Structure 1
């Protein structure tokens, strides 16, 4: 399927094998406390925009080169401190799609 890339601070216990991390896209600790989805999305998008599409593209290319991967799988392993049922990974996927034209489908999604 591809190489899993950790986009969250946490990694699952008992993970076997490599798990490259993309730390630049981790939500900040204060962001994890936000329970309002619109507020979280606004702040996280501001973080990503501050990071920049050029840096994102370069990081993804470097991770792909380092792992010899044709496909990268963006994974989030965070356990929310709030009761929210949504994840930053979907915001990241939409940002990559909008800014870089990269299709980031959900695994198992039917097209």
Structure 2
């Protein structure tokens, strides 16, 4: 069993699950938790990073399609099994408290739902449907 969530580095709490970096670069600020896992393939590439949302989304989803859900699930499951926790929290930098802000973790969540049928819940400010009992 694998349960995926998303959040930002600054808002993550260890009680949420296992933190997993999905950015090219690691945070340059001190974190109050250990960040030992990264899946760099889930980070957007530099060549489209600054593109408008529609172009960015198309390019990023194409990258995800190229890796495929089975390969991504295998990578994430290996982390989950190694940590003995089915809850992985995919982390990046963006603060989604501004409704106009968008981020690749949200695009990943939508893609994952489209290809696997499994929901990836945001634990940050847009967690309007999130229920605390989900973490247990």
TM-score by length of 1: 0.84
Which residue is 1:66 aligned to? 82
State the Cα RMSD in Å.
1.9
Which residue is 1:30 aligned to? 47
Gaps of 5+ in 2: 1-15, 95-99, 130-136
Contact 1:6 1:21 in 2 (8 A): yes
Determine which structure has the larger strand proportion and give its number.
2
Which stretches of structure 1, 4 residues or longer, exceed 3 Å deviation after superposition?
Answer: none
Which residue is 1:57 aligned to? 73
Contact 2:44 2:104 in 1 (8 A): yes
Give the Cα separation in 2 of the matches to 1:44 and 1:18: 24
Which residue is 1:81 aligned to? none
Which residue is 1:89 aligned to? 105
User: Helix, strand or coil for the counterpart of 2:86?
Assistant: coil
Q: How big is the shift at 1:11?
A: 2.2
TM-score by length of 2: 0.70
Q: How big is the shift at 1:27?
A: 0.7
1:20 aligns with 2:37: yes
Which residue is 1:7 aligned to? 22
